[in-house]
A and B are shown apart, each in its own frame.
Chain A
Amino acid sequence: MSKNYNYAFLDEGSKREIRRATLKAVAIPGYQVPFGSRELPIGRGWGTGGIQLTLSLIGPGDVLKVIDQGSDESVNAVNIKKFVGLCTDIETTTETPEATLIQSRHRIPEIPLKNGQILIFQVPLPEPLRIVEAREEVTKKMHAEKDYAPLWLQLYESLIRYKKVTLASEYPCLVEGRYMMNPSPIPRFDNPKLHKAECLYLFGAGREKKIYAVPPYTDVVSLAFDDVPFEIESFGGKHCRLCGSTDTYLDEVFDQQSGKRFHQCSDTSYCRKLSSQKAQNRE
């Protein structure tokens, strides 16, 4: 552990402010609590909100897992793990069930999270109403008045124009019947995992200076009309080329040399575990 910095990098005053904001966020599920986002040794927009949440939470005894689009080995995930490791000395893992804290960019792991685990999202744009209203003061008022009509209208326009809802990610959802929330750019496939989950979900947007949360066992309902129900992505019978899974979120991989397209699990940890289990069974 580097002795040149405070434990978990941030000074204690910064941690306290983030902690206070997080407690309010848990008390008001889905509400975006403003906070004074700190400077970090990485640029805003590269996961600073999630990192600040992680640094305010982490302590001796924690086990950290960091994923980027489901992958434990991507540059962003590896560097965040290294950074947190340098200033805390905590243990890191790639196994979802072993982790007490999981920081994620754009995915929820395939293995259901348990009570006591905390999933921290890196959020680029926390405001679900930004797509229909550019001014912060107006979106704040819209949340206060629970005025979500423009968002419903946008969904309706999408249905009229394209005969389906065309939002691939950042699909808005209503938290505990009150706040419209942007679940960060997770695919629609992951939206149902937010509903009545056992774990605590925390969302940190460093650039936009907002923290929000979904406590365990909270109603999180993806926006849908009575006659047009919410649908997750369909992979049309495709399976992972490595583990053969058909019920996971699949990434499409294009091989430039052969010109072929493959599909494989986005959650690398889950895929690796399943592949090794299958290999063991074959032996």
Chain B
Amino acid sequence: MKTSLSKKHDFDAVFDSQKVYRLVLEALSHPTKVVSIQEHANKLQGSNPAYLALAMTLLDNEVSFNTCENRQLSDEISSLTHATRTVVEEADFIFVSEAGDWVAVIEHAQCGSLANPHSSATVIVQNKQNSGAPLNQLTFRGPGIDARATVLVTQTVKEILELRDAQCYEYPQGIDLIFVSDEGALFAIPRLVSFDGASQADDSFSFPPFLQALRSLFEEPSKLKEVE
């Protein structure tokens, strides 16, 4: 009897890994710059292809990881990379996919020591944009940014950065953050990049155009009659 073997995914461990690595390097050396790993993530099957593409690029049996309570993602990463599963406090890479998990992760992730700051966690967070949710305008500064960069970020990103700052790490200790969306849009905020001027963005940013009319109805109920 003949059996045929087929690959579960088309992600090339040599060439796709190299491309994803260069994109992550680009993002980390230019904080706030958004790069897309979608083309490569699409070659992977699984619950979160973008996470798997990053795992295939950076993880192997030399490092440890944690996925909070996401068992399916943990199994997929483990089978693809042979990296060691461990608790948040000891993980080299932490993948956060569920809203709310990031609080415990930021508070307990390893931040390295003054002598060995590289022994710190890289936290990878799923960046979800809920339609209609307000965006926040933050101004970033630090290495990799020409003077300053003002960008719009989701409420979750802002809260994660605020919690990161609340840990009061003594530089060079700290954690490095990578945000990635389901569509593979990725940006990074390394430990030395600071932000200020958190303010809610203009209405035009917070509501997609197709929701603007609906919003005006909620804010000014008198208009409801006009519609009727």
Contact = CB atoms under 8 A, between A and B. Distances in A.
A193 interface: no
A19 B144 contact: no
Chain B interface helix/strand/loop/mixed: loop
Given A16-B57, A216-B30, A218-B144, A59 B22 contact: yes
A28 B57 contact: no
A17 B62 contact: yes
Interface residues of A, number: 43
A27 to B, nearest CB: 4
A102 B13 CA distance: 25
B85 interface: no
Nearest 5 CB-CB pairs, A to B?
Answer: A27-B190, A59-B18, A144-B114, A144-B115, A218-B143
B63 A20 contact: yes
Interface residues of B, number: 38
Interface in B10-52: 13-15, 17-19, 21-22, 24-26, 28-30
Contacts of A17: 62
Interface string A56-97: 111110000000000000000000000000000000000000
Interface of A: 6-8, 12-13, 15-17, 19-29, 31, 33-34, 56-60, 116, 140-141, 143-145, 176, 178-179, 200, 213, 215-219
A29 B192 contact: yes
Contacts of B14: 6-7, 12
Contacts of A57: 18, 21-22, 25
Contacts, number: 104
Interface of B: 13-15, 17-19, 21-22, 24-26, 28-30, 57-60, 62-63, 113-115, 117-118, 120, 122, 143-147, 171-172, 176, 190-192
A26 B28 contact: yes
B81 to A, nearest CB: 9
B22 A29 contact: no
A144 B191 CA distance: 16
Given A19-B57, A23-B24, A216-B144, A28 B118 contact: yes
Contacts of B29: 26, 200, 213, 215-216
A28 B114 contact: no
A24 B143 CA distance: 13
A216 B120 CA distance: 22
